[in-house]
Structure 1
């Protein structure tokens, strides 16, 4: 029988690296374990930012297949369940704040683990820049002077400072913003269902606007937009980044992820259905460059459109806070795993004495996001992040497929049903997406794979020669359950 490391994984699978002198075999509890399950969900949903998805991502689906966009989102939600259950069991098995890279390192090998880390880090910083730069587009509806890119830079600076605060304060800050964006979606929903113009059969009518009216499109158009719909739900897996700050996380983290997914799907699908049912004219809706804004103006007037636009801007600010918090914990985890030269690890791995948050890592993430927003063109930022989610999901599926082997650590609170079917379907689906991306915009996939290649080179050039003192990957924190269940 193969010798096992403390995680229960055969050593030959991970590259035999002895623990350094004085190693305890577990991470230490340094972050504040103060979040309830509900508070984790608040931050997680804020990183999903469903209102931004409805107004920014969903319109592309609506314009592509018309009323069948509702069916497309429903099918994507079913597919997202396969992603969600993989995240849930992996999180419950390895409840480590670093997220996906910590699973890949333990289950797929450390070189691929670091490659996944670098892809997640780079795409996270670029995504912060992309969404922050979109703030001005919506604030400009209320005041044209707030429409410049400098507004996005200011948002990053302010939200970075907020993100340094203790995690529970941030949970309630993001929760208040989240309530605002959900209110905007409630208004959208009521406007549609109170003025019905067509029936439920419109959800199965795939149409696009043409020069001479609406034209039907085939099933292939719906299938082609499934990846876009799937990415509209993306973010529910971010709950694992707060796992070391969540009470009784071993038992509840799987439920947090799946509940976040369910809420995300409902609050994105229902408003879209209301718009499809209640739009005064389907031709005008599908012929508009901004169909959601057309609907708001048509049903509620220009003033309401301005108010909702400000609400979407606040939703974007909320998402920036949540994603900075997430990526800061990713950087903190990498420093704790001794990924960088000693002085860098010491700085980035420090926790603020009062807030018990990774303050230095947060400042670094905010600073890099500002630089990206200032110096990298928005079109390139979008291209650079286009395929990253698909590649990360592919890694997650491969990790989930490696679970439940003899001698491997077992879940501490959640086990997916029908294993190994969910990871197999996830892998097949993401391979399909990657092939389509390679055909349509190969530069997106090339950037993601190139980033991973750089991570692999760094690992082999710096970390591997120092094995034994770098990347020893201890066991997850030993959580004290007493008094923690709420």
Structure 2
């Protein structure tokens, strides 16, 4: 029977289970397919979290590049859209929990899958720590307390524990809370943005083409590239839609659409929030010179007053909780996927599945305990936290590009995607565009920007990446985790002399989807 066939004896969920079995995954205990399309979009959106990204990085980006930094949202959005298209085609072929790890494994092989999963897992765990730690400043402002390391750590730990409790409640609860997070964050972003544009706007749109002296008179491209990190750190999260592929009905069609919808809604929300803040900043020179170190607080407190400002901060904190929750969901599915293939230390424990809630509890605890330990490390050395978290965004981009490269290699060696979503003749050009963009984005993140600082400060992000990859390679060759499982791998490319891949033979029916 074809995957999409309907009959009285086969429900869509039955067909999804059959497809998963044909891909080599048959278990008595499986995830429940209780995540709706909009729940899937919400998961990606709250992971992307435009409010968290913009509010956290607005001051530094405006100071570095002035108002034109907003154009980075458009540039990065286009680049990441190419990546989302590639991911959509892959997840349509391999709708397996864990996202980029099983994708890399099927496209290239076990070793490549291990390294991709390792890099991405470390990136997710450190991102959870970084996002939770960053919420402390907003909580202090909400309660009117003076910011301190202790209050920031307590806030971060409470936020992680709350997110863990939600995730342990199962897919249905995750679906509901993610949708509530999307509604709250998107509504808040629109209301705040419209209010700032109507009541607090200080400038017209012409300022978006005026740097106001940002860059110190040097080549403005360098200043813009540094400011563009606000966009680069914004447009990921869509891949989380694929991390929960075994919890979504009809994933081959729904998840690619959800990924694109995440880009559309998240990109619009982030750009709109950033635009409203830029036009409401009273003094660009003060921000660029460093006199005003908190332009977001300046704008919001001036526009909303003391009470209104606290309401906005409350919405911001909801966005932080939703973001941590979605990151945890992605990290737990990734570690569970790797563990059930016996790719990780303590795989038996991490692959344990709780039948009552249909979640991997110990993988969720991993996504709780490790970030908390990273945060607690700031008590001993704040610099250590900076070093660890500096890898977060780069690691996610690196994980992305390991999959994009694997997909391009597979295409050139004969892979013919056969899922419900296909790029057709545009597959190779889009794949090349995604890879080109990814290399440029990674280069921008690791580029040294403080020539007067010690060399290791300039190359901190790059050094952290080298350390993570190095540890992964040592474990790969010392423990040979790729030999521990006979789960399918490297089956995207058809064998020599064959015109069809294993995946194509497994999935005999597809629906053409147009962009």
TM-score w.r.t. the length of structure 2 is: 0.80
With over 3 angstroms needed to count, the CA separation of the structure-2 counterparts of 1:159 and 1:437, relative to structure 1, is closer
Q: CA deviation at 1:399?
A: 2.3
Kindly provide the CA deviation profile for residues 206-258 of structure 1, in whole angstroms up to 9, marking residues without a partner as x: 23469xxx979734432443344122122111111111100111122111101
2:435 aligns with 427
Tell me the secondary structure at the aligned position of residue 140 of structure 1: helix
| Map of 2:98 onto structure 1 | 98
| Alignment of 1:449 onto 2:466 | yes
Residues 252, 413 of structure 1: 8 Å contact kept: no
Q: Does 1:463 align with 2:480?
A: yes
CA contact under 8 A between 2:243 and 2:333: conserved in structure 1?
A: yes
1:135 Cα offset (Å): 2.3
The residue that corresponds to 1:313 in the other structure is 317
Aligned partners of 1:115 and 1:451 also within 8 Å: no
1:413 aligns with 2:402: no
Aligned match for 2:24, one of 23, 26, 29 = 26
Question: Following the alignment from structure 1 to structure 2, what is the Cα–Cα distance between the partners of residues 425 and 409?
Answer: 19
After TM superposition, the structure 1 = structure 2 runs for residues 64-79 of structure 1, keeping only pairs within 5 Å, are: 64-79=64-79
Aligned residue in 1 for 2:235: 233
1:139-150 to 2 correspondence within 5 Å?
A: 139-143=139-143, 144=145, 147-150=151-154
Partner Cα separation in structure 1 for residue 359 and residue 329 of structure 2:
9
The alignment status of 1:396 with 2:403, answered yes or no, reads yes
**125-134 vs 141-150, greater mean Cα deviation:** 141-150
Q: Offset at 1:189?
A: 0.9
| Superposition map of 1:60-459 within 5 A | 60-143=60-143, 144=145, 147-195=151-199, 196-208=201-213, 218-284=220-286, 286=288, 287-340=291-344, 344-376=346-378, 377=382, 378-405=385-412, 408=415, 410-416=417-423, 418-440=426-448, 441-459=458-476
1:385 CA displacement: 2.3
Measure the CA separation in 2 of the matches of 1:438 and 1:277.
30
Instruction: Name whichever of 381-390 and 318-327 sits farther off.
Output: 381-390
Q: 1:348 to 1:464 in 2, by over 3 A?
A: closer
- Aligned residues of 1:239 and 1:257 also touching (Cα < 8 A): yes
CA distance in 2, matches of 1:106, 1:456: 20
What does the per-residue CA deviation read over 1:111-144, in whole Å, with 9 as the maximum and x for residues that have no partner? 1221111111112111111111222211111222
- Paired with 2:287 and 2:183, the residues of 1 have a C-alpha distance of 27
Task: Check the 8 A contact 1:33/1:244 in 2, yes or no.
Answer: yes
SS at 1:352's partner residue? coil
| Unaligned 5+ runs, structure 2 | 1-20, 449-457, 492-501, 510-515
Q: Distance in 2 between matches of 1:194 and 1:350?
A: 53
Contact persistence 1:112–1:456 (CA under 8 A): no
C-alpha RMSD over aligned residues: 2.8
Q: Report the alpha carbon displacement of residue 168 of structure 1 after superposing the two structures with TM.
A: 1.8
TM-score normalised by the chain length of structure 1: 0.84
Aligned to 1:50: 50
Distance 2:312 2:413 in 1: 53
CA distance in 2, matches of 1:277, 1:150: 35
Contact 2:83/2:431 (CA < 8 Å) preserved in 1?
yes
1:353 Cα offset (Å): 1.4
Contact 1:86 1:396 in 2 (8 A): no
Whole-angstrom CA distance in 1 between matches of 2:481 and 2:416:
24
1:31-62 CA-to-partner distances (Å, cap 9, x unmatched) read 11111111111111111111101201243322
Partner residue, 1:484: none
Helix, strand or coil: the match of 2:228? helix
CA contact 2:56–2:134 (8 Å) conserved in 1: no
Relative distance call for 1:208 and 1:180 in structure 2 (3 A) is: farther
Moved more, 80-89 or 176-185: 176-185
Partner of 2:41: 41
- Equivalent position of 1:17 in the other structure: none
**Number of equivalences:** 451
When residues 217 and 306 of structure 1 are mapped into structure 2, their CA distance, relative to the original with a 3 A threshold, is: farther
SS of corresponding position for 2:462: helix
- 8 A contact 1:82–1:425 mirrored in 2: yes
Do 1:236 and 1:261's aligned partners in 2 also have CA atoms closer than 8 Å? yes
Per-residue deviation at 1:28?
2.3
Residues 293-316 of structure 1: per-residue CA shift (max 9 Å, x gap): 211122222332222122212211
